[in-house]
Amino acid sequence: MGYHVVDPARLEPEPDRPSEMRYVSEAADMDRLGLRVYSVDPGEEIPLSGLHYHETQEEAFYVLEGVLSVETPEAEYRVEPDQFFVAQPESPHRAHVDDNADQPARVIGMGAPPMSDGHSVEE
């Protein structure tokens, strides 16, 4: 059996990301679910820049604070605290905090399987 208590504030942010991202799943040795915590300032995106999709990964964002905007080819979604946004495989999306937002957002991101299979959507 394995158990972990992980304090995201003690984890180093991942380099070269469009917003602050901390990998909880890596710190807890998880291999079936990607689990991340994001701090997203106005004008920043998560987890990748631009409209993208995943071939096999199901992805969900849970908003703790602030408002997350998610652009899709069909609509723009406003995800408020205590709400989830879920993207199924092959579903293009771009998660971000609007440039004119009043505050940053704190978001938990989850993906299964935990792989980096994001593909940019050419506009």
Report all structural domains of the chain as residue ranges with CATH numbers, in order of start: 36-114 (2.60.120.10)
Q: What is the CA radius of gyration of the chain?
A: 14
Q: How far apart are CA 65 and CA 67, in angstroms?
A: 7
Q: Given this model, what pLDDT does residue 49 score?
A: 77
For residue 8, give both structure tokens. 């995201």
Contact at 8 Å (CB) between 58 and 81?
A: no
Q: Given this model, what pLDDT does residue 30 score?
A: 93
pLDDT along the chain (123 residues), means of 10: 93 94 95 96 90 93 98 97 97 96 97 78 64
How far is C-alpha 25 from the geometric centre of its chain's CA atoms?
13
40-61 per-position pLDDT tens digit: 999 999 977 789 999 999 999 9
Q: How far apart are CA 51 and CA 71, in angstroms?
A: 8
Q: Given this model, what pLDDT does residue 48 score?
A: 78
Q: Given this model, what pLDDT does residue 114 score?
A: 82
pTM of the model: 0.92
